[in-house]
Structure 1
Amino acid sequence: MSELSNDRHVAWLLGLAGLIPFIAGGLFAWWAPSVWQVTAVYGFSYYSAVILSFLGGVHWGAALQVPRPGNRRRLIIAMVPSLIAWPALLFDVVTGLWVLVAGFILIGGYDLSRDGREGFPHWYLKLRCVLTGVVVAFHLIVLLRLGG
């Protein structure tokens, strides 16, 4: 197996493993004992904010790795997920989850844009689409549980 192919495999495995807290949090929000449900929802929200911030860091790193036209704009856009995620944790949990959903959709849209795709292999965009789809779906599952 070539090194590039191995990197793709590892990235997919780690990306899918990163869904475990979203899936577990969403399921626990519905079916865990009541006391754990509250912890599950807050843990879900905090993890969501961390991951949304991480997605901005991906673009920050891409912009710094190779000089390209538009890198200044990409560096600015890379800060947006953190600036969405942090205040989302200051709102009530339902509002915060809606803000986080919006953040994932926005950065997902940027990932698919011409500028956002720049410098990433084609398989990465497929990975991001799968991960974003699952993350948004589980946010909606938790929001449904909260009546939000």
Structure 2
Amino acid sequence: MMRAPIPRLPLWLGLAGLLPFLIAVAAAWLAPIAWQVLAIRAFLGYGAVILSFLGGVQWGVAMCRERPGEAPFRARMVLAMVPSLLAWPALLLHPLTAAWVLAAGFALVRGHELSREGRAKLPDWYQSLRTLLTLVVLACHGLLIWRLIGA
């Protein structure tokens, strides 16, 4: 089965949303030390915001496309809260631990989106877009973790 093409606007907005990850991780490696510290904090903060945003996507789907009171509505609403409940506390942790927690959060969200229940009610093109974006985000997290380990 072929996936529907990604509409131009969501594709460009999604790619633009990758810029803070790419810039911050590059700065974490290449900038002067004082700026590296700021870049790491910015990366983690932005990661927490975007992870929370992904929960909001599921919340919006539940509100607009599920029937309130039914099991799929309740499940999607509860699962929509998990990303923000992972993201915010991650910001209170050591940066290396925070990067791991956020990376795990992105992987868990993507796993849910790929599940039968998670992909229900979403447009066909959404899967392709989210796969692309998640791969880049996880690669950036990997580079940041490598930097924090002391590479």
1:97 aligns to what? 99
Q: State the aligned residue count.
A: 143
Letter in 1 for 2:57: V
Distance 1:145 1:67 in 2: 42
Report Cα offsets for 1:47-83 as digits up to 9, x if no partner: 0000000000000000000234511100000000000
Distance 1:66 1:46 in 2: 30
Distance 1:30 1:93 in 2: 15
Unaligned runs of 5+ in 2: none
Runs of 4+ in 1 over 3 A off after TM superposition: none
Distance 2:74 2:8 in 1: 31
Letter in 2 for 1:125: Q
2:12 aligns to what? 13
2:51 aligns to what? 52
User: What do you get for the CA RMSD once the two structures are aligned?
Assistant: 1.4
Structure 2 matches for 1:1-148, cutoff 5 A? 8-68=7-67, 69=70, 70-147=72-149
* Percent of residue pairs identical: 52
Unaligned runs of 5+ in 1: none
TM-score norm. by structure 2 comes to 0.91
